[in-house]
Amino acid sequence: MASDFPLPSFTAQDALVAVMVAVSASDENISNNELISIGRMVESLPVFVGFDRDRLAMVSQTVFDLFEEEDGLDALFGLLRDALPERLHETAYALACDVAAADGQTFQAELRFLQELRYELNIERLNAAAIERGSAARHRRLPEAEG
The DSSP-derived string for the chain is ---SSPPPPPPHHHHHHHHHHHHHHTTT---HHHHHHHHHHHHH-GGGTT--TTHHHHHHHHHHHHHHSTTHHHHHHHHHHHHS-GGGHHHHHHHHHHHHHTTS---HHHHHHHHHHHHHTT--HHHHHHHHHHHHHHT--PPPPP-
Q: Average pLDDT over the chain, rounded to whole?
A: 88
pTM for this prediction: 0.88
Q: How far apart are CA 129 and CA 37, in angstroms?
A: 21
Residue 27 is predicted with a pLDDT of: 81
Q: Is 30 or 121 the better-scoring residue by pLDDT?
A: 121
Q: Which CATH architecture group holds 12-138?
A: Orthogonal Bundle (1.10)
Band (pLDDT 50/70/90 cuts) for residue 108 is confident
* pLDDT range class, residue 6, cuts 50, 70, 90: low
